[in-house]
Amino acid sequence: MGMEGIGAPVKRKEDRRFITGRGRYTDDIALKDMTYAWFVRSPHAHARIRSIDTSAARAAPGVVGVLTGADLAGDKIGGLICGWMIHSKDGSPMKAGAHPAIAAEVVKHVGDQVAVVIAETRNQARDAAELVVVDYEPLPAIVDPAKSRAAAAPQVHPEAPGNLIYNWGLGDEAATDAALAGAARIVTLDMRNNRLVPNAIEPRAAIGAYDPAEEHYTLYNTSQNPHVARLVLSAFVGVAPEHKLRVVAPDVGGGFGSKIFIYPEETVCLWASRRIGGRPVKWTADRSESFLVDAHGRDHVTHAEMAFDADNRILGLKVHTIANIGAYMSTFSSSVPTYLYATLLSGQYDIPAIYAEVDAVYTHTAPVDAYRGAGRPEATYVVERLMETAARELGVDPAELRRRNFVRSFPHQTPVIMAYDAGDYEAHLDAALKIADYAGFAARKAEAKARGKLRGIGFSCYIEACGIAPSQAVGSLGAGVGLWESAEVRVNPVGTVEVLTGCHSHGQGHETTYAQLVNERLGIPIDQISIVHGDTDKVQFGMGTYGSRSGAVGMSAVLKAIEKVEAKAKKIAAHLMEASEADIVIEGGELKVAGTDKSLPFFQVALAAYTAHNLPAGMEPGLKEGAFYDPTNFTFPAGTYICEVEIDPDTGKTEICSFVAVDDFGKIINPMIVEGQVHGGVTQGLGQALLENCVYDEESGQLITGSMMDYAMPRASDVPSYNVTTTETVCPGNPLGMKGCGEAGAIGSPPALINAITDAIGNNDLSMPATPEKVWRAIRAVA
Amino acid sequence: MTKVTMTVNGRSVAGDVEDRTLLVDFLRSNLGLTGTHVGCDTSQCGACVVHVDGRAVKSCTMLAVQASGADVTTIEGIGTPEALHPVQEAFRENHALQCGFCTPGMIMATVDLIKRKGTDLDEATVRHELDGNICRCTGYHNIVKAVLSAAEKMAGAKAAAE
Amino acid sequence: MYETTYHRPGSIAEAAAMLSKAADGKLLAGGQTLIPTMKQRLASPSDLVDIGGLAELQGITVGGGTVTIGAGTKHGEVAGSADVAAAIPALGALAEGIGDPHVRQMGTLGGSIANNDPAADYPAAVVGLGATVTTSKRTIAGDDFFTGMFETALDEGEIVTKVAFPVPAKAGYAKFPNPASRYAMVGVMVSKGTDGAVRVAVTGAGPCVFRVPAMEAALAANWSPAALDGIAVSAADLNADIHGSAEYRANLVTVMAKRAVAAAG
């Protein structure tokens, strides 16, 4: 490992602009003659629009235009799409209702757009928006997914009778039933995976700019995947032709999934810019709007049964989940409670039979889609709460019950599609037990008791699937896109390098880690390497960043391109040094003839490629290569998390005393950045388990947790410092041996915390978030 | 429209604003100082923290006219890429930022915290003092480390100077 | 925020005059509640009269068994005051727990009590310490100042100028913060005056700060946390929301009262 190569904790290149206030986020961009959009949003969860009167708003000071759903339909702008087709058990395709960018006839959740006002200033747009008169006929609403299928429940879309989008199954139901029938013991749990609001600290924003002379559109957008946005906006929504649409996602202030999706607002900004004659239209969400209309996460209601034999080996697992999709199917919403969820229900365990059934339902709530972990936290929560519950019911140590059931040989084919390629689950369990001083827990519990506190310990041995995945495989499962990644490595004549990637960095540190990879291979200092991303005019195509894919998939593409550069550079060097190409090695920024003292610095080879004065016969000038990398399998990060808590029995308040995370991410490029990803993920997971809860009023469908005044975001004083380390089994599925680290913390931590709290209070009947009152009541229920 | 004048990062500035204009909007839109961010609308996230007459305040919860006549320092004014403030340096050294959006507010809050509470800080104090700044990326672990490290370095620099 | 007109008076008298002339004027002190409310378009005063910088509203003085705090004094100044810490440490601790550091550097004592948010901390101090509120027109006993949810004894145009807190023999404040907003779900100030009089004032739990006579009697007889065992307020009139039911808040009142007594020593 060099000072700047793979494995080095290199300080981030991108930090300098962020710590000095010189980042460039979408809302920082001011274009000439820019106007500002404010959306008129539905105050009702469900209502028919009888009429919209925009006349007073049009006459208001500074107003440039007021547009409605009728205008949108008149211009033949299509609805937003869900890009993953799921088929029900009976073979029928999922039943998706229409998703207009501006509602014209019926509003389906509080915050649904009904009109947009464009004005000279944001205040003027907002002032005028209040003058848009919408005559609504309020209709009854349904917000609880568990009740949405009742015969009397209000219907969200006529296309989906009974609010059922699909009834999907995975696994062998008969084999699983047989396993349950033959079990010595069945452990049963009903669980709610609470609904979350992503709350990246940068609110979403978009600037649409239409150039009438060129008939060209530019969209600046807070996006995790600008190319997918361009594809969907052009090919499906039809707002602009693909070759006439540039999408730029500049610095983006966190995404966590919520900025993957193609939303109504950016669609409208692009279209509106054309409608008002080409002046740019900027929209920046207020946080209150983010709460109403950003895609939310989770919201599962699950019943699960796990069967054990007399030796405490798992025989089978049967799961039924109702997944709330919200009022519209967001871009990848259908995949989250299906192929990103049920495929992980085997956990780290050798389970002979698994069957999962998922009912995806519409409700009159904001759309629900991928949020950090996306399906895998829900699966981990089911499996790891069951394991802890089983250990208690079977009277065995929770660590040992897990150990007994671990998968030990690889590759391992689970009953739910996944073929685990590599892992050593005992290695991280043992490491975590040691770091957490599990042996000393009883003494700590006794000491806490003497202080009047209830101390508990909880485990979570999670597995996840990242780096998805072979395009052919995901295509066969219903994905509308391939999930490969592209890269281009451009060596400049002076030997500096630009790497263009279709991934997008919004906190992950790609400008550093991608440069580390180049440094590792070419020996060029990282300050002579630039990483270019987030602009469809610069990068030809790419799938963006989500699902912990930018290392395993994105960097594999970069590596493939580097290998092509290396091959050409070696040919040139061999020619220049009159050596055999097979003898050329690249080391420390030089191309050397092995076994001799002959060498050429990399920049001289680069220069030779561009002067082209003396190249091998027939060789094209230049030193620039591109590559597309399609993964061969999912990757399978896994780890053990141990959480220790103390509960104040008088108030029910939980203090997280320690949190140990031992993860196997395969090969690691930058341990500093990897640890940072775990810290952040763990905090989001602990936030879900302890604090965060998105609540709609059952009767009115109003969002009760509409701001950070009611939605409890984790703060520094809510969490401790963490003890984070890694073990390593190399991923055989990609050339760098990487598995991915972006989501693990959020996936593994919620059950660890809930298992710790339920251990402390001696009552397993507890749901997330474990608010002080819930814990207080749970203590009293068993007192 | 009301004319406001103030000193921002040592420079006298003026502008005509509606009385309802927030200080943060004046800084971002009128002065182009976009390092100060807006992350919420309920005065909680702290992405907008600047110093007004030496005190850290939320510039989304103050009118520009209220700050007329004041001395304002923003993230752009405490250090430059070439000459970083010790707190900026500590954030970079300790990987205390990821997406960077909350970072200006975190840094401005930290400078103020060290000024008020001194350099002899413990973790519990730092965590309590960061209650007005929300970060969604880092889980706070490295921010706390950076604050403690900056305080230690600033104490060392002060001792060396004395 | 709707349009509004901003004024910066040079004196309390000028502020009162400006307020009386305004169609729907409001005083602006630290603005930490008013400005967020205006941003949400839930308040739309025609005029804002900024008294935050008035010199005559600033300052903390200790003397004659009283801590007197100017209405424009910021929470952070109270929290950081060595004089307050020496005389009534519970008051400094209460101020240290309001909002967050940035809010504390803008928000004022006068603004807090004049707004009388049911979950604000300062009302518990004013009632729990038996303070006296001085306004531009008169003095008002702390017990008479808070009249209901967001309601006070202040007349139209009347401006709080200072609050005098008698230095007690003992006082303690314990707060259970709302996990999201950091306001008090329950906050309890207990004090024992130099004359032996006991006060227990509760904020956050009900629509307005209130005293708990049963606890006061028990503590007068036996100043110890254990004296409050088995004494609970009725949940019937308490607040309930997604963060805590009335029953849970009732429990917290007793728990926080005991902790406040323990903190008072």
Shortest CA gap B154–chain A (Å): 18
Residue A1 has pLDDT above 70, yes or no: no
Q: What CATH number did the domain enclosing C30 receive? A: 3.30.43.10
* Domain finish residue from C166, C191, C218: C166
Q: Is the dihedral of CA A435, A440, A444, A445 positive or negative?
A: positive
| pLDDT greater than 60 at residue C156 | yes
Judged by average pLDDT, the poorest of A79-88, A127-136, A543-552 is A543-552
Decide if B97 touches A, using CB distance below 8 A: yes
Beta strands per DSSP E along C112-254 = 132-135, 139-141, 146-148, 151-152, 160-166, 170-177, 184-192, 198-203, 210-211
For A503, residues 6+ apart whose C-beta sits below 8 A from its C-beta are A485, A510, A533, A542, A543, A544, A545, A549, A550, A553, A554
Question: Which has more pLDDT, A539 or A548?
Answer: A539
Do the Cβ atoms of C242 and A691 come within 8 Å?
Answer: no
Candidate from A493-507, A541-555, C16-30 with smallest mean pLDDT: A541-555
Nearest chain C Cα distance for residue B3, angstroms: 12
Look at B139 and A672 and tell me if their CB atoms are within 8 Å.
Answer: no
- Burial of A725 (C-beta count, 10 Å sphere; 0-12/13-18/19+): middle
- Which of C8, C38, C101 comes nearest B109 by C-beta? C101
**What is the number of structural domains in chain C?**
3
Measure in Å the smallest separation between the Cα of C175 and chain A Cα atoms: 11
Partner residue facing C39 (CB), from B18, B41, B46? B41
Please provide the DSSP assignment of A529-546 as one string: EEEE-SBTTTS-----S-
Could you report the per-residue pLDDT of A668-690, keeping only the tens digit for each?
A: 999 999 999 999 999 999 999 99
Nearest CA-CA distance, residue B41 and chain A, Å: 6
The string over A52-66, giving b where at least 16 C-beta atoms fall within 10 Å of a residue's C-beta and e elsewhere, is: bebeebeebebbbbb
Mutate which: B31, B38, B45, B98, vs A, most A CBs within 10 A: B98
Taking residues C94-119, what's their average pLDDT? 97
Which strands sit side by side in the sheet containing A216-221, from one edge to the other? A63-68, A113-119, A35-41, A281-284, A205-211, A216-221, A245-248
Residue pair A136/A44 in contact (Cβ under 8 Å)? The answer is: yes
Residue ranges of domains in chain A, CATH in brackets: 31-139+202-253+259-293 (3.90.1170.50), 300-468+633-782 (3.30.365.10), 484-629 (3.30.365.10)
Q: Give the ipTM.
A: 0.98
Which of C166, C182, C212 terminates a domain? The answer is C166
Against chain A, the chains showing at least 3 CB pairs within 8 Å are B, C
- Find the CB nearest A716 among B93, B100, B144: B144
Residue listed under structure tokens 């410092």: A721
- Residue C86 confidence (pLDDT): 97
- The reply to whether C124 and C184 lie within a common domain is no
Q: Which of A103, A91, A557, A149 is nearest to A324 (CA)?
A: A149
What is the pLDDT confidence band of residue A59, given thresholds at 50, 70 and 90? very high
Single-letter code of the amino acid located at A535: D
How does DSSP classify residue A222?
-
Please say which residue of C150, C166, C182 terminates a domain: C166
User: Could you tell me the residue range of the domain that residue C131 belongs to?
Assistant: 58-166
Quote the crossing angle between the two packed helices B141-161 and B103-117, to the nearest 10°: 50
- Chain B residue with the nearest C-alpha to that of C51: B66
The C-alpha of B160 sits at a distance from chain A's nearest C-alpha, in angstroms, of 26
pLDDT of residue A709: 96
CB atoms within 10 A of CB A460: 32
- The shortest CB-CB distance from B142 to any of A19, A286, A676 is to A676
For residue C65, give the CATH number of its domain.
3.30.465.10
Residues of B in Cβ contact (< 8 Å) with C3: 18-20
Q: Which helix (H) or strand (E) holds A361?
A: strand A353-362
In this predicted structure, what is the pLDDT of residue B157?
Answer: 87
Question: pLDDT, tens digit, for every residue of C204-226?
Answer: 999 999 999 999 999 999 999 99
**Measured between CB atoms, does B113 come within 8 Å of chain C?**
yes
Residue A468 binned pLDDT confidence (cut-offs 50, 70, 90): confident
How large is the average pLDDT for residues A172-194?
Answer: 98
The answer, yes or no, to whether the previous bond of A769 is cis (omega within 30 of 0) is yes
- Tally of CA atoms within 13 A in the half-sphere of A703 that contains its CB: 32
What integer is the mean pLDDT of A3-21? 96
Q: Single out the residue of A680, A292, A766 nearest to residue B101, CA to CA.
A: A680
> Cβ–Cβ contacts within 10 Å for residue C156, how many?
7
Band of the pLDDT at A381, cuts 50, 70, 90? very high
H/E segment holding residue A746: helix A744-761
**Chain B residues within 8 A of A203 when measuring between CB atoms:** 38-39
Encode A598-625: b = buried (16+ Cβ within 10 Å), e = exposed. bbbebbbbbbbbbeeeebeeeeeeebbb
Q: Is A710 on the interface with B (CB under 8 A)?
A: no
Cβ distance B20 to C3 less than 8 Å, yes or no, reads yes
Of A16, A252, A721, nearest to B99 by CB-CB distance is A252
The answer on C140 and C87 residing in a single domain is: yes
CA of residue A431 relative to chain centroid, distance: 28
Confirm or reject contact between A22 and chain B (CB < 8 A). Answer: yes
pLDDT at A547: 87
> CB distance B97–A19 less than 8 Å?
yes
Tokens for A102? 């501006």
CA distance C106 to chain B (A): 7
For A726-737, write each residue's pLDDT tens digit. Answer: 999 999 999 999
Q: Is B3 on the interface with C (CB under 8 A)?
A: no
Mean pLDDT over each residue of chain A, to the nearest integer: 97
Sheet arrangement for strand A599-601: A584-587, A590-593, A599-601
Tell me: the pLDDT tens digits for C227-243?
999 999 999 999 999 99
Instruction: Report the residue from B42, B138, B141 with minimal CB separation from A287.
Output: B42
pLDDT number for residue A467: 86
Are C175 and C161 within one domain? no
Place of tokens 């959009």: A37
The two three-digit tokens of residue A334, written as one number: 């259908």
Number of C-beta neighbours around residue A728 at 10 A: 17
Q: Which residue has the tokens 């082209």?
A: A612
pLDDT digits (tens, 9 = 90+) for A353-370: 999 999 999 999 999 999
- CB within 8 Å: B44 and A506: no
Q: Which domains does chain B have, with CATH numbers?
A: 2-78 (3.10.20.30), 86-161 (1.10.150.120)
End-to-end CA distance of chain B: 49
- Report yes or no: C31 at the B interface, CB cutoff 8 Å: yes
- Cβ neighbours, 10 Å, residue A450: 8
Q: Which of C1, C179, C251 sits opposite A712 (nearest CB)?
A: C179
Asked if B92 lies within 8 A of A16 by C-beta distance, the reply is: yes
What pLDDT is stored for residue A481 in this prediction? Answer: 87
Give pLDDT tens digits for A92-131.
999 999 999 999 999 999 999 999 999 999 999 999 999 9
* Distance separating alpha carbons of residues A508 and A527, to the nearest angstrom: 18
User: Phi first, then psi: what are they for A516, rounded to 5°?
Assistant: -65, -40
* Chain C residue numbers touching A651 (CB-CB < 8 A): 176, 251-252, 255
Lookup result for tokens 């709330």:
A324
| Tens digits of residue pLDDT in A311-340 | 999 999 999 999 999 999 999 999 999 999
CA distance to partner chain A, nearest, from residue B130 (Å): 6
Mean pLDDT by 10 residues, chain B (162 residues): 97 97 98 98 97 98 98 96 96 98 98 96 97 98 98 91 81
Contact residues on chain B for C76, CB-CB shorter than 8 A: 55, 116
Strands (E) in A35-158, as ranges, are: 35-41, 47-53, 63-68, 106-107, 113-119, 133-138
How confident is the model at residue A548, as a pLDDT?
85
Q: Are A68 and A102 in contact (CB under 8 A)?
A: yes
Residue among C2, C180, C244 whose CB faces A773 most closely: C244
Q: Could you tell me if C85 and C16 lie in one domain?
A: no
Residue A109: what pLDDT? 98
Predicted confidence (pLDDT) at residue C188 exceeds the cutoff of 70:
yes
Using CB atoms, which chains have 3+ pairs under 8 A with B? A, C
Where residue C192 sits, what CATH number does that domain have? Answer: 3.30.390.50
Contact call for C244 and A772, based on CB within 8 A: yes
A547: left (phi over 0), alpha (psi -120 to 50) or beta: left
Residue C184's DSSP bridge partners are: C177
Residue C41 Cα, gap to closest chain A Cα (Å): 10
- Would the pLDDT of C198 be above 60? yes
Cβ–Cβ of A711/C243 closer than 8 Å?
Answer: no
Give B-chain residues touching C35 at CB under 8 angstroms. 22, 43, 61-63
Cis before A744? omega within 30: no
| CB-based contact A251 B100, cutoff 8 Å | yes
Q: Find the mean pLDDT for residues A435-461.
A: 98
pLDDT tens digits, residue range A704-762? 999 999 999 999 999 999 999 999 999 999 999 999 999 999 999 999 999 999 999 99
A38 touches chain C (CB under 8 A): no
Q: By the CB < 8 Å criterion, does A472 face chain C? A: no
Q: Are residue C41 and residue C79 in the same domain, yes or no?
A: no
Q: pLDDT at residue A2 above 80?
A: no
Q: What percent of chain C has pLDDT over 70?
A: 100
